[in-house]
Structure 1
Amino acid sequence: MSESTADDHVTFAGPADTGEMAQLARDVLPFMGALHDDESWRRFRRFGQGKHASDQYTLVVRNGGPGGHLVGFVWVDPAMLIDHNITEPWWCINALAIAPDARGQGRAAALLARVEAAARAAGIVLLYGQSVPEARPFWQKMKFSLGNPDEAVRTRGAAMLTSGERVNGTFSPSSGDSWFLRYLTDVPGSVRSGLLPVSWTN
């Protein structure tokens, strides 16, 4: 996938982008140290085209065409599968970064629209992630539901593991952060297992 507008070029991220992605992460995501080293992007293969629920999905935005300055990226993956062996069709929006001088022009919203389209095509039913306090208004504007700061999320309906077992789990965000969630379907019975803030399930 590669697409240009009058000003921006959006494409799948690859190894050639890692230096600029790491620099942007250092500039605007200081709390995500794992993304600050360009070699870690390659070592942990944080690239993908999101064709399947088990895929990663990473896009970059360059201003002025394919050879332009990298002004943003989004990185999505099946974090619950990677970290907890949960095979439910959930994608985690791990990082969304836009350079300060490139904000206010709809780039973050445009990247999220692409994430949503890819998620629907891959059969994903839930997009979620963690928000730092200052980003909460953005995620609310993007129609995500947010838990309270430091509030855990809990499985709603037992989640399937790679072993075939079903389990219930509770997951806490990083200190001071909030979980954000958005379901991509409202068809009754279409979500076998999901996540909800603990206060919503009491």
Structure 2
Amino acid sequence: MYKKKQYAFSDNKPVLVEIRQYTKSDFPALIAIQKESFPHPFPEELWWNSEQLTNHTELYPEGAICIEVEGEIAGSITALLTDFDPISPMHTWEDATDNGYIRNHNPKGNTLYIVDICIRPKYRSLKLGQLLMHAMYERVIEDELDRLLGGGRMPGFHEFSDRLTAEQYAEQVVSGEIKDPVLSFLLSCGRTPVCIVKNYLEDEESRGYALLMEWENPFHHEQ
């Protein structure tokens, strides 16, 4: 059972947080956080439901992690194991995650795939998303996996899509010319770009695109 306590900072003041695996009793809070974190125009049908969360805790509990601030659940991150072939990287979120139900979780997979990460808006200044992402990096190292992988939404892209391609937009985010709420966050967590994926998710703001991003296990090298 994964559980640890550490400090986040709010205006330079330490705030004790706890990172742990989530359980059935956490489901109502997790669903509420989804609604707060992904408001319209994000599709409501992509918010978690109880069946999906049950699968997360039963099929791969090590990949079902939440974070608490002073006893209140402030966010979560969910993952599954899969086999990833860098030669054929194209896929959709629905295919990679079984539409969030993770029935395609492969216990022998070489890659930890991020299904979702969300933080309650009032806690985002604490940078809790980075703490959750680093908890998953620890899982990659502990289980000697090749990498952590996931598609990053591009919610700022709709403001530039009339003059930039998805690839050009991502390049300018990586170079620091544009700040994207999701891609810039993932870069700050240590993720690096793999490629642009078209029709990754029904996401109006991202125009259906995502930037596939990874974190390679620094202790796991091919001989």
Q: TM-score, normalised by structure 1?
A: 0.67
Superposition map of 1:34-113 within 5 A: 34-42=46-54, 45-47=55-57, 56-64=62-70, 68-80=71-83, 83=104, 87-113=108-134
- 1:3 aligns to what? 4
The 1:34/1:56 distance shift into structure 2, 3 A limit, reads farther
Paired positions, count: 161
- 2:209 aligns to what? 176
Aligned partner of residue 25 in structure 2, secondary structure: helix
The 1:2/1:126 distance shift into structure 2, 3 A limit, reads closer
Aligned partner of residue 112 in structure 2, secondary structure: strand
The answer to whether residue 177 in structure 2 is matched with residue 144 in structure 1 is: no
Deviations 1:21-76 (A, max 9, x none): 1111122134473443234312xx212697xxxx7511111111xxx221111111
Letter in 2 for 1:3: K
Unmatched runs of 5 consecutive residues or more in structure 1: 152-171, 191-202
Letter in 2 for 1:73: S
Distance 1:124 1:87 in 2: 10
Aligned partner of residue 218 in structure 2, secondary structure: coil
Identity %: 9
Distance 1:47 1:142 in 2: 25
Distance 1:75 1:3 in 2: 17
Letter in 1 for 2:210: D
Distance 1:9 1:85 in 2: 28
2:82–2:108 Cα contact (<8 Å) kept: no
CA root-mean-square deviation? 2.9
- 1:197 aligns to what? none
Distance 2:220 2:53 in 1: 37
Unmatched runs of 5 consecutive residues or more in structure 2: 7-14, 84-95, 97-102, 156-181, 202-207
The 1:73/1:86 distance shift into structure 2, 3 A limit, reads closer
Letter in 2 for 1:75: T
Per-residue deviation at 1:101?
Answer: 0.8
